[in-house]
Each structure stands twice: as structure tokens, then as C-alpha cells.
Structure 1
């Protein structure tokens, strides 16, 4: 009887762990809201500076004390990347502030165009 319980518990643990691994592969793991995930999809289409997106980026940057590192459209400036690892952006939906996620090459390339 103990052996059957042990086997059932082992199967249950493996099942629960597999669910958490699948969940880890979703954007939700990065703490992004549905709206922020929609923004990232719009970034891929080239829609990056709508008034709504700028306001959402401003609010997010303000919430995490990053306003001093933002440009006029509230994307993070190069100063941020000089001082912090981009891994900082993985949590809490901060990826919406990342100019590279939005499709910018570099600020220098934008200026040269």
C-alpha cells in the first residue's frame, strides 16, 4: 500500500513540476499584463509611439524609478544600458521600456538615417 501511495505522489509531483515548466515559457512569467503583451505585439508591427503607449511607458518608468533613464518617448536611453544589465528588464513588465524590444537598432543608427 505504501508503495502505491509513493508512486501516486511521485506522479503528482512530476505533473505539477511539468505545469510550472510550461508556464515559465510564457510572457506572463515576466510579470507583463495583457495590455503590455499587446504593446509588445504592436511594437513588432511598428506601432510604438501612440499616445497611449507613451503614457503607459511613462507610468511604468515612474513606478520603478527609471524616469531619469528615459528619452522623450519613455524608452530607456543608453545611460540605462551603461549602468544596468538588460536582465533587469525581464521582470515586472519592464520590457515595454526597452528600445531594442521595440525594434530600434541603436540610437546612433536612428540619428544617421
Structure 2
């Protein structure tokens, strides 16, 4: 796992792309809890995302789980590969299994997220 990733309490990860956008996905821990992912309901490009509001849905053989906005912003890209290969969420949650790229509404939008170290400590409790 990339030590520069930030995390939410609801198991989304956020990577700062350094250009005012972030890439978002679900953590390795979350995909393990879900089991085999069979469908990802991707958001629409141009849709607004709000922190804590559901913007996507991941369905597995066990359950369907809402994916919550980790930041405020606008969807600028979605991972269309997931339409045909939703298992990428399981196989490479931090690489090929990303869900969306979001243009941040403001630059200070990542301060509320946990570091990788803090997140790992929280799921070990």
C-alpha cells in the first residue's frame, strides 16, 4: 500500500494526484470484507460528490455496499474497465481497481482523512 494514500472511516482510499484531483477507491480491507465483486455502479462524469454522501455502489456475491464521497467535488473520470472487469476491485484495489477521479471543490479537502498508518491501526482494533 502506498503510504501517501489517505483513508476514510468507511474504507475509501484517496490519492492526491497533485493537480487538484484525487483518485478514489475502496481499501484492501473493504474488498476482503465484501468478497468477490461482481458489479460496480459507477457515477456519471460531471456528477457532484459530497463528503459522506453515497456516490457509487459495489456489489459482491455477499452484499451490496454504498461507496461514500471522501471529499467534495466533481467526478471528472470513472474507471470504465470495471464495467467488464469488476474483479479488479479485488485483485488490485489500489491500482487497477480505482473507482473515480474527483476534481476537488477546495484544496484543503483532505485534512479530515486518516493517514495510511492511522487507518491500518483503526482496522486492527
Q: Aligning the two structures, in what range does the TM-score lie when normalised by the shorter sequence?
A: under 0.3
| TM-score (norm. length: structure 2) | 0.24
Structure with a larger share of its residues in helix: 1
Structure with a larger share of its residues in strand: 2
| TM-score (norm. length: structure 1) | 0.25
